[in-house]
Amino acid sequence: MSTGVAIVGVGEADEVGILPHKSAPQLHAEAALSALAHANLRLSDVDALFTCGLDFMPSLIVAEYLGIRPAYSGTNSIGGSSFVAHVHEAVLALRAGVCKVALITHGETRRSNRRRGVSGRPAHDDPWVPDWQWERVYGVATPPPAYALAATRHMHRYGTTSEQLAEIAVATRAWAALNPRAHKRDPLTVDDVLASPWAVYPFHVLDCCLVTDAGGAVVLTTAERARGLGVPVVEVLGSAVAHTHHMISQMPDLTETPARITGPAAFAQAGLGPSDVDVAELYDSFTYTVLVTLEDLGFCAKGEGGRFVGGQRTAPGGDFPLNTSGGGLSYTHPGMFGIFLLVEAVRQLRGECGPRQVSGAEVALVNGMGGYLSSAATAVLGRVA
């Protein structure tokens, strides 16, 4: 089955990493032009724009910078999963006929912003917004302690270990070694991860994603129009979005994420299941994020994530290719990673990944996880023969 919508182009900014000489809008534009070239389309073809993470009116800023006047735009902002949620929304918009070519962009200079003393995002400065008085006063205002709280509960309930979490960091680094654009490419061992300093218990520094500068973009159109573009067609077979809370202390069960809702929904729409997936791109803000998402999407039973990733099963040559770009842990992570999950999944399905290509990849699963394990957006993508 299919939604009748295809991803016809993906792209990154001209460079990713540490880019003090680039602005965020510039990264949006570089990625957009790259993705449109990948789709054999032009800026003037774009009539819908989806973006977030840039100031207060991101779609106005980005559309103006690109020189486009979209008939429709969306700025759903649910954390790092947003751009996968934008795929879901683009599918709805294209199917409804309100647009013909949808562009999703992300560009962020999270790393270099620190030196400039800017945040790039809307100020979160009203102390009457709930997390200020219910979490911030207890030292929780960023993802690391929030995800750590969830991981501790999972470890207690299911016996998940630091070694199992480290397996994910090691396997992801091995994929990064095959990606020339990856930020961290030196080999890593489980012992290296366990010997790295605590970031916030139970996470070592090497359990945590990078902070970089980067941009990415995705172009979608109807499957019908896609067939005339002269590029490989990757269809969106199923997609779903859900969120269950904002603050981690309001999460219904700290060991179950909203991917437990979106995974089955996206698979059902696609008429496929976990065993049909050839390559998986799962948001890896932390090693734990991957482990719990594998469970919630149904790749293994609840509580079995630690055993599932053992023995470098997800590394190159293993039987479950996972986060083949090197992920947020080793490739790049400019504050939000969702767009890059899509970029890598589409490249894998188009057979464009060189030494890290998963041979015969026909179905890819993309899962964005945003906020404080708050939101999930899942997309099942398939190459059309």
Partner 1 sequence: MADDHDLTAARPPISPSPDAAPFWAAAARHELLLPYCAPCAGHFFYPRAFCPSCGSRSVEWRPVSGRGTLYTFCIQYRSNLPGFVDAGPFVTAIVALAEGPRLMSLLVGVPADPAAIRCDLPVEVAFVDYDDGQSLPVFRPAG
Residues within the interface to partner 1 (CB under 8 A): 127-128, 130, 132-141, 145, 148-153, 156-157, 197-202, 247-250, 254
Known catalytic residue at 283:
yes
Closest separation in Å from C-beta 254 to partner 1: 6
Among 65, 147, 158, 283, the active-site one is 283
What does the alpha-carbon distance between residue 157 and residue 253 come to, in Å, rounded to a whole number?
12
What does the alpha-carbon distance between residue 152 and residue 200 come to, in Å, rounded to a whole number?
11
Phi, psi of 184 (to 5 degrees): -120, 120
Cβ contacts of residue 83 below 8 Å, gap of 6+? 50, 52, 104, 106, 216, 218, 336, 338, 339, 342, 368
Q: Return the number of the residue (130 or 311) whose C-beta is nearest partner 1.
A: 130
What does the alpha-carbon distance between residue 145 and residue 147 come to, in Å, rounded to a whole number?
6
**How many CA atoms are closer than 13 Å to the CA of 192, on its beta-carbon side?**
11
Closest separation in Å from C-beta 117 to partner 1: 13
What does the alpha-carbon distance between residue 194 and residue 163 come to, in Å, rounded to a whole number?
7
Q: Return the number of the residue (130 or 187) whose C-beta is nearest partner 1.
A: 130
Q: Return the number of the residue (162 or 172) whose C-beta is nearest partner 1.
A: 162
Q: Return the number of the residue (2 or 249) whose C-beta is nearest partner 1.
A: 249
Q: Return the number of the residue (90 or 150) whose C-beta is nearest partner 1.
A: 150
Among 65, 158, 331, 372, the active-site one is 331
Closest separation in Å from C-beta 194 to partner 1: 13
What does the alpha-carbon distance between residue 245 and residue 371 come to, in Å, rounded to a whole number?
9
Q: Answer for the pair 285, 143: CB distance below 8 angstroms, yes or no.
A: yes
Closest separation in Å from C-beta 28 to partner 1: 28
Known catalytic residue at 65:
no
Q: Answer for the pair 189, 163: CB distance below 8 angstroms, yes or no.
A: no
Closest separation in Å from C-beta 201 to partner 1: 4
> Residues with catalytic annotation?
283, 331
